[in-house]
Amino acid sequence: MDENIKEKESEIVVENKEGETSSIKIADDVVSVIAGKAVSEAPGVYAMAGGFAGGISEVLSGKKNLSKGIKVEVGEKEAKIDVNIIVEYGSRIPDVAFDIQNRVKAAVEGMTGLKVVAVNVHVQGVNTESVTDSEEEKEELLEVIMKAIDKIILCVFSTLILLGVVLSSCLIFGWLDLTSIYVIALNVITNQTICNVLIGINVFLLICSIKGIFFISKTKEEKLSEGILLQNEDGKLLITKETITSIVNSIVSGFDSVKSSKTYIDMDENNDLSVSLTIEVDENAVIKELSNNIQIKVKDAIKKSIDVDVKSLDINVKDMVKQEENA
């Protein structure tokens, strides 16, 4: 399969009743639109997610939007299709995904003659009232800022390495006198203003070093590759951590006694799912009863949505908020 697949367009050879043969070329974009239209007609799909085009969710309407979130690899006779979606809250995700696989496969094979060898569905999120557009914009803005910081750090250290190489080369070839460097360094050290500037630069470089070593930013693609992976003969289904987090947050936000919450999702290679919640509650909340209700509803929602049992659900009550502070 992989040897026959190439991007851009495919050429299909057809034979008419007289035995004459001709070829039909089909661009990848055409296959993307066909697949996107099939996805748009599937119940439970809220929007396409631009996992291969910037991670921006697009509403399913129009030719331009229909190809968003669709990645195709087309060969001479075969095609592999990846679909990125956001589902409606309350939908049973495996059923939605398997329905999409059947619809996409039938549409592409019926309209192009290509054999669809795999339809991989990536569920990147759930449409919930608890997640607003402004929150999504803040997350995207934070990601852009973190990428910019990483680029700045890379440029700074690359510049320092370049300066070090140039300086050492000048010393090795005798183009620069070591005594001159010593005199310049001595003058710099004795100048208080320059010393203060150097201290500031050193602190900045130290922070950049710590950030680069211990706080490596994950790309959106890496985040979206983390999750529960299911597979059948038609392809793969990936339910991301962000999707599960959205489900949990939607349930927890429905409890009036919970004033704030933070969700942590962990899973292993066997798809064993662990959920950890850190919450702040109202001062009048009955913590034991509240925690028990949260555990029951969260486990039930995840089971219904993704057909996976929660191995453990830990709740950490961080603080109790007074009524007047929450007014």
The one-letter amino acid code at 185 reads A
Q: What does pLDDT average to over the chain? A: 80
Residue 205: is its pLDDT beyond 90?
no
Counting residues of the chain whose pLDDT is more than 90, the rounded percentage is 33
pLDDT tens-digit series, residues 112-139: 888 999 999 999 888 876 544 555 556 6
User: Which residue has 């211990």 as its token pair?
Assistant: 214
Q: Cα separation of 76 and 156, whole Å?
A: 47
Residue 253: is its pLDDT beyond 60?
yes
Q: What is the pLDDT of residue 110?
A: 92
User: Which residue has 């979206």 as its token pair?
Assistant: 224
Q: What is the pLDDT of residue 211?
A: 73
Task: Write the DSSP symbol of residue 254.
Answer: T
pLDDT band at 228 (very low <50, low <70, confident <90, very high): confident
Whether the Cβ atoms of residue 246 and residue 126 lie closer than 8 Å to each other: yes
Mean per-residue pLDDT, 70-77: 84
pLDDT tens-digit series, residues 24-40: 777 888 899 999 999 99
Whether the Cβ atoms of residue 84 and residue 124 lie closer than 8 Å to each other: yes
Lowest mean pLDDT among 147-156, 180-189, 303-312, 317-326: 317-326
Q: Cα separation of 125 and 240, whole Å?
A: 7
DSSP 64-89: HHHTTTEEEEEESSEEEEEEEEEEET
Residue 19: is its pLDDT beyond 80?
no
Whether the Cβ atoms of residue 112 and residue 12 lie closer than 8 Å to each other: yes
Q: Cα separation of 104 and 110, whole Å?
A: 10
Q: Cα separation of 289 and 294, whole Å?
A: 9
Residue 66: is its pLDDT beyond 80?
no
Q: What is the pLDDT of residue 100?
A: 95
Q: Cα separation of 147 and 150, whole Å?
A: 5
Domains of the chain: 5-127 (3.30.70.1350), 148-214 (no CATH), 241-326 (3.30.70.1350)
Q: What is the pLDDT of residue 312?
A: 92
Higher-scoring residue by pLDDT: 286, 222: 286
